[in-house]
Amino acid sequence: MSKPSQDELEQALEKAKQMREMEKDPDFIAKSFLNCHFQSTYLQQVLHAAEHYINSGLGEREHSRLIQAISKARNIDERSAKQEHQDLGLS
């Protein structure tokens, strides 16, 4: 499956937000998509930190940043799992 273009992604995010606002999401597809997109932004930060850590010669500073990125992604995931009606930070 190919990755959507930035325009396609923005259109899909907007449609998903509209579906949630209008409460027309009977199978929770929009909710799931918005949540996955929200979490993926933090996982991208983990990936970036991991790549930087590896490419830096495994420096202590980069290791600390990687640990922080992982912790942040975990916290977001845990918070997301506990809150049914959360603001996904997409507005």
- For residue range 4-50, list pLDDT tens digits in order: 999 999 999 999 999 999 999 999 999 999 999 999 999 999 999 99
Tell whether the model's pLDDT for residue 83 goes beyond 80: no
Residue 71 lies inside a defined structural domain of this protein: yes
Which residues contact residue 80 at a Cβ distance below 8 angstroms, ignoring those fewer than 6 apart?
35, 38, 39, 86
Q: Which of 37, 25, 39 is nearest to 81 (CA)?
A: 39
Q: Which of 45, 42, 39, 34 is nearest to 90 (CA)?
A: 34
Which residues contact residue 7 at a Cβ distance below 8 angstroms, ignoring those fewer than 6 apart?
none
Residue holding tokens 């932004």? 41
Determine the structural domain holding residue 64 and report its residue range: 36-84
**Total-model pTM:** 0.76
Among the listed ranges 10-14, 48-52, 70-74, 75-79, which one has the minimum average pLDDT value?
75-79
Residue 14 lies inside a defined structural domain of this protein: no
Residue 16 lies inside a defined structural domain of this protein: no
Task: Map residue 12 onto helix, strand or coil.
Answer: helix
* Structure confidence at residue 1 as a pLDDT band (50, 70, 90): confident
**pLDDT at residue number 89:** 47
**pLDDT at residue number 88:** 45
As for how many domains the chain has, the answer is 1
Residue 76 lies inside a defined structural domain of this protein: yes
Tell whether the model's pLDDT for residue 90 goes beyond 90: no
Q: Crossing angle, helix 6-21 and helix 29-55, to 10 degrees?
A: 140
